[in-house]
Structure 1
Amino acid sequence: MLIVKDLHVYYGGIHAIKGISIEVADGAIVTLIGANGAGKSSTLRSIAGLIKQKSGSITFNDVDISKLSPEKIVESGIVLVPEGRKIFPNLTVMENLMLGAYLRKDDEGIKRDLEQVFELFPRLKERSWQKGGTLSGGEQQMLALGRALMSDPKLIMMDEPSLGLAPILVKEVFDIIKKINAQGKTILLVEQNAFAALNLTHYAYVLEVGEIVLEGSGEELIRNPQVREAYLGV
């Protein structure tokens, strides 16, 4: 589905991504783990078209998307749930959700997906006319995920979805990610909670200073002594 080859990204004079290559198979959950500054978010932002790569290719369903605008990338079926949620605090829950569908013209499909979002997140239905900024952190994360689903994506990229949430909400977020994947959505996940992410993922890459240093199934990396010491604290 998604193939990133030899990706190089610069911020000014900083070489943030140094030739990484990753693949995300259709229907899979793939995770990027690593310390702050490793290049995880930069990778997602580059795939989403928010920052342009210096070189390398990004192919989605056999189409090169590396030079497309962010809105064209959303149209192609890729959506990013950004770090920090980035909901619109002065708009209602319903308005935030409908903004996720702003490129769509299929009214029946939008109605269907809205019902599915409310089924997945009943609290959003209860608070549909409440302003986004008045929601709790966990509810705002649900809103960000729901907004992404409203674009009817094939691939959802999630940047630190559990960041800043209480442990009980972290478990809820990971349960929701499992449900979204079970509904047929492919997921590329960046997550600071390495243990939870590796238990969830089908395949994972470990980034250090813009380079991939390890890769394998979640089970393989959980057993890897280097990963256990550096990221799992065991």
Structure 2
Amino acid sequence: MLKVTDLQVSYGHVHALKGISLEVKQGEIVTLIGANGAGKSTLLRTISGLIRPSHGSITFEEEEVDRLSPDTVVNRGLVQVPEGRKIFSNMTVAENLKVGAYQRKDKEQVKEDLEEVYSLFPILKDRLDQMAGTLSGGEQQMLALSRGLLSKPKLMMLDEPSLGLAPVLVDTVFDVIEKVRDKGITILLIEQNAHLALETAERAYVLETGKIVLSGDSKTLLNDQAVIEAYLG
């Protein structure tokens, strides 16, 4: 479904991605783990069209997308929920949700999808008129996920969805991630909690300083001594 081949990205003299190649198949949850600065967020931003690669290709559903604008990438069904949520704090919850669907023309289906979002996160329906910036961190993450879902993704890229959340809310978010996959949406996940990420995903890639150094079945990597020492403690 998504294929990244020999992807290279530089910021000035800094070589951020050094020949990344990976694949995400339809219906999978695939996770990227690695230390801060390994290049994980840069990779997602490049796939989203926010950064132009200096070399390599990105193919989504057998179409090259690495030269498309970010809004066109979203229209193709490749949607990112960014690190730090990036909600519009001076807009209401309802307005933030509408932004997620702003490119869609199927208004009746949008209404149905809104109800689906409310079933996943009932508290958002109670907060529709509330300014998004006044929500708790957990509620803001729910809003960011919901906004992404309203873009009608085929593949959803999640960048640190549990960052800053209380443990009980982390469980809620990851329950929703699995429900989203069960609805047929493929997921590429970056997550600071490597143990939880590997337990949730089918496959994983380990990034170090812009390179993939390990990849394979997530359950196998959970028992890999190098992964345990570096990321699982």
* Shorter-chain TM-score above 0.5: yes
Distance in 1 (CA, whole Å) between partners of 2:63 and 2:139 is: 35
Give the AA of the match of 1:33: I
* 2:44 counterpart of 1:44: yes
Give the aligned partner of residue 205 of structure 1: 205
Equivalent positions of 1:9-28 (< 5 A) are 9-28=9-28
Give the aligned partner of residue 121 of structure 2: 121
Alpha-carbon displacement from aligned partner over 1:146-193 (angstroms, at most 9, x marks no partner): 000001110000000001111111111111111111111100000110
1:68: how far off?
0.1
* 2:224 counterpart of 1:220: no
* 2:91 counterpart of 1:91: yes
Give the aligned partner of residue 186 of structure 1: 186
Give the AA of the match of 1:211: K
What secondary structure, in the 3-state scheme, does the structure 2 residue paired with 1:10 have? strand
Give the AA of the match of 1:83: E
Give the aligned partner of residue 168 of structure 2: 168
Distance in 1 (CA, whole Å) between partners of 2:216 and 2:121 is: 32
TM-score, scaled relative to structure 2: 0.99
Q: Which runs of 5+ in 1 are unaligned?
A: none
Distance in 1 (CA, whole Å) between partners of 2:105 and 2:178 is: 28
Distance in 1 (CA, whole Å) between partners of 2:204 and 2:128 is: 36
1:140: how far off?
0.2
TM-score, scaled relative to structure 1: 0.99
Distance in 1 (CA, whole Å) between partners of 2:45 and 2:100 is: 17
1:138: how far off?
0.3
Give the aligned partner of residue 141 of structure 1: 141
Distance in 2 (CA, whole Å) between partners of 1:41 and 1:139 is: 22
Give the AA of the match of 1:18: K
1:127: how far off?
0.6
Give the AA of the match of 1:208: E
Give the AA of the match of 2:190: V
Detail structure 1 runs of 4+ shifted over 6 Å in the superposition: none
